[in-house]
Each structure stands twice: as C-alpha cells, then as structure tokens.
Structure 1
Amino acid sequence: MPEIHETATLTSKGQLTLPKPIRQVLGVDTGAKVAFDLRGGEVIVSRADAEHEDPAIGAFLGLLEADIRAGRHVQALPEDLARAMLASAGRTVNLDEDIEGDVAL
C-alpha cells in the first residue's frame, strides 16, 4: 500500500472527512464502512469489510448468517477442512495464476 500523509479537520460533531487519496486507496465510497483501530497511540483506518472482499466468501457468510438467524442447525466443519482454511487465512490469492495439477469439475 502506498505511503500517504493527509490531514483532516474534526468538526464540532466529532466528524471527519476522509481525504480523497485515502478513500481511493481504501476503495471506499459513499455508504462504505470504515474501521478505526487504536494501537499504541496510533489510529489505523481500514475498510470494515476488507476481510470479506471475495464475493464467494461474502455470499457464503450471508447464507450462513441466514441459517443461524432462522435457527437452523449449523454443523461443524470437518477438522481437516478447518485446518486448511486456517492455514490459508490472510494469504493473498492471484485469481489469474495458473492452476497446477488436474482439476475435477
């Protein structure tokens, strides 16, 4: 992520306008959620939905939430699948990268 230094003025209502270069880098627009984390005296600003950028994961999480709200029983993931998911968490994926090996559809 590029290094950017911008300033903003706090209004009497405690509101800030995120400077345009910051909004562009974060990929946020009107109505987007922004998260603020205080770490050692510094405020870290990030997209609130940054961890769910993959539309397939977002759709899956939406279905899961609907099942939970409807009171449907959600079964635990198989242990090997859960381990594989945790091992992959936080890893960036290049969707244009060639797939190695055979793929069964």
Structure 2
Amino acid sequence: MPITLEAESTLTDRYQTTVPESVRRTLKLGKRDKLHYTIRANGEVVLTRATGAEGDDPALGAFLGFLAADISRHPERLQGIDADLVARIQSLTEGVEVDLDAPLSADDE
C-alpha cells in the first residue's frame, strides 16, 4: 500500500500560508516555484508542482503581458492591418516552408 503524507498549514489574515517542509521536500519545491491546484468535485484538492511549458521564455511572457495590459487600457489604439500590407507579406513568404519542430542551426542559436 502506498504511503500517504499528510500535513497542515494555517491561513493568515491575508489568505497566505507556508507550505510545510515535508511537502516542499516531497514536491522538490524551491523559492519562487509555482504550485498547481486541482479541485475535484468532492472538494478534495490536489497540490502539485506547476511545470512551465518546455522552452518558456520569461522575456516573451513579460512582453506579451505588457501588450495585453496595454490593449486592455487603450483599445482605441488598435488598428486593422491594411490589405496591401497583407498582400506584401504573403508575396514575401510565398513558397517558404518552416518546420517549427526542427532544431536551430548553430548560426541561429
């Protein structure tokens, strides 16, 4: 029979808690790691270590967050792409095939 680890922690007035040392050790958690919560229909909560997608780029994530916030604050600044620009882009990329799963060459790294 598998061993079950149980631990408790207390919520502060700000709804924060400290993850017990035994849980941190079991999940191999370090400072700034993220946690993932799965809440089941019966009220049971499963806590796991969150894993980022392979190759996540923190700079890209921050930039996309900046764009999303800017679009939310200033939707009036959004502009459609001109049909002539779309045609120009299509003409420049016509016949170009890209394999997104192919490894980068040494020059591209």
TM-score for both structures, normalised by structure 1: 0.48
Q: Decide which structure has the larger Cα Rg and report it.
A: 2
